[in-house]
Structure 1
Amino acid sequence: MPGILYLVPNTLGPAETADSNVLASILPTEVQMLAARLEYFIAENAKTTRAFLKLVNVRHPLAKPLQEIRIAELNVNTEAAALPALLAPLLAGQDAGLISEAGVPAVADPGANLVRLAHQHGIQVRPLVGPSSLLLAVMSSGLNGQSFAFNGYLPTDAAQRTKRIRQLEERSRQERQTQLLIETPYRNGAMLEALASACNGSTLISVATDLTLATEAIRTQTAAKWKSELGAGKTPDFHKKPTVFLLLAD
């Protein structure tokens, strides 16, 4: 009988301390205990996963010493032909944890392809409760939580990016739908400037940074207000910090 593929949520950023309560407000105890008993992980980043397991181990001893736990990497560079080998231990009966570098796996994450293949092989997939930056951003933005869409990264070319923003704004206006996007953290400033410049002045733009972390910051205001602040040199403290951008057109 195949093992179970557990979708294990990770923290949304590095913990500032390693005390016994560091995961208490982020992951349910049951999720931590389950992660502690797994001996095989498929991870977007092995180093990040080891750091996560060290935190889990503070209160819930791992089934094996960390150096003996197998961690196979699955990231954007992993070829599709390599996926079956990652599932081989599960088909042999071993449980495994699929874990992202941050947040929940298989959402804006290469793990989705492995989950699809697991279903094709009749492997049971179990998602576990944990933080999703996208849902937390929607919750805290004040924008439409009844209808929203995640659009990932926008083009890096300025002209193409502006064109895409205007397409998303029009879609938002027509469908009353909140549009979510992300950017490589060191380009957050350029993304906010592009949104403020390309959008209608009354369009609402929300910026959610470092969600669940001590440096968390969430602001929602009109594109006109953002443009005015940026013009005055008032830029959010979000350089190189994971940020979710949201917009809702009137």
Structure 2
Amino acid sequence: MTPGRLYLVPTPLDFGAEPQTLAQALPAETIATAARLTHWIAENAKSARAFLKRVDGLSPLAAPLQAQQISELPRQAHKQGDHNGHALDAAAKALLAPALQGHDIGLLSEAGMPAVADPGSSVVRAAHALGLPVLPLVGPVSLMLALAASGLNGQHFAFVGYVPQDAAARAKRLRELDASAARTGQTQILIETPYRNAALLQALLEQLSPASRLAVACGLGLPQQSVRSALVAQWRQHPGWREGLPLSLPAVFLFGP
């Protein structure tokens, strides 16, 4: 039996916001491929069904929504990530069992490209270990969109994820990253839960060197998207810039020399 393939299916970046027309966010080929899949591994089954309902509105699903086989990633992948070590490898291989029976499988996150700043890397590793083809589909990746729009170094960058919530630990971490960026020229890329975006922006403005460039990209891919990039010294001179950003939406923060 010919084994199935693992498709990495990107989703729109409007999770938690007013949904946009799917055709505005994803290429027709990505939508058509998603429509013909009937087996899924998802970060969240509820959001996966919502995505498939949107797909069905443009390209009829190969199986009714109720008949779609959707398996969720283990809870550990959500809380601790699945990119370090091999604790989830056995579970990931089990999720791929339908592919060994000839079914193509789609991997979904709640927004953007799975396994990039989201869980899913354990499934990709398992697919390679099982000899399954891994095929990423074209769609939005918020980190790359933000980097392209930032004016910062796009040749040398690091995604550092979340910084500590504790104010003192966060301040220490931001100063360390700022010093590293100044020393190496490497752009630092951060994300935060939307309700803490304002607090992170305030901490960045307090801790970064005035000569560092800070870019904030909010609501990428949405009609209300906004990107502002300037030296920290300029941000401090224009407090109104912060009020003008839609910080309640998902945001990406970037800084460097």
Q: Per-residue CA shift, 1:206-228, capped at 9, x if unaligned?
A: 00001010110110112123234
Q: Per-residue CA shift, 1:25-84, capped at 9, x if unaligned?
A: 321111111100000111111121112111111121000111110111115535724322
Aligned to 2:67: 68
More displaced stretch, 24-33 vs 90-99? 24-33
Match of 1:238 among 224, 240, 246: 246
Measured after TM superposition, the shift of residue 91 of structure 1 is 1.4
Q: Per-residue CA shift, 1:104-135, capped at 9, x if unaligned?
A: 01111210111011111111110111000000
Whether the 8 Å contact between 1:229 and 1:235 is mirrored in structure 2 is no
Once residues 18 and 198 of structure 2 are traced to their aligned partners in structure 1, the CA distance between those partners, rounded to angstroms, is 25
More displaced stretch, 73-82 vs 189-198? 73-82
Whether the 8 Å contact between 1:11 and 1:131 is mirrored in structure 2 is yes
Tell me the matched-pair count.
Answer: 245
Q: Name the Cα RMSD after superposition.
A: 1.8
Structure 1 residue runs without a partner (length 5+): none
Once residues 241 and 30 of structure 2 are traced to their aligned partners in structure 1, the CA distance between those partners, rounded to angstroms, is 43
Q: How does 1:16-165 map to 2 (within 5 A)?
A: 16=18, 22-74=21-73, 76-78=75-77, 80=88, 81-165=90-174
Structure 2 residue runs without a partner (length 5+): 78-86
Once residues 170 and 113 of structure 1 are traced to their aligned partners in structure 2, the CA distance between those partners, rounded to angstroms, is 32
TM-score (norm 1): 0.92
Q: Per-residue CA shift, 1:13-35, capped at 9, x if unaligned?
A: 147467xxx22232111111110
Aligned to 1:213: 222
Aligned to 2:11: 10
Once residues 25 and 143 of structure 1 are traced to their aligned partners in structure 2, the CA distance between those partners, rounded to angstroms, is 27
Match of 1:182 among 185, 191, 199: 191
Distance change (3 Å), C-alpha of 1:31 and 1:109: same
Aligned to 2:213: 204
Once residues 75 and 13 of structure 2 are traced to their aligned partners in structure 1, the CA distance between those partners, rounded to angstroms, is 19
Measured after TM superposition, the shift of residue 233 of structure 1 is 9.2
Q: Give 2:225's aligned amino acid.
A: E
Which portions of structure 1, spanning 4 or more consecutive aligned residues, are displaced by more than 6 angstroms?
Answer: none
Aligned to 1:172: 181
Once residues 159 and 38 of structure 2 are traced to their aligned partners in structure 1, the CA distance between those partners, rounded to angstroms, is 33
TM-score (norm 2): 0.89
Whether the 8 Å contact between 1:40 and 1:69 is mirrored in structure 2 is yes
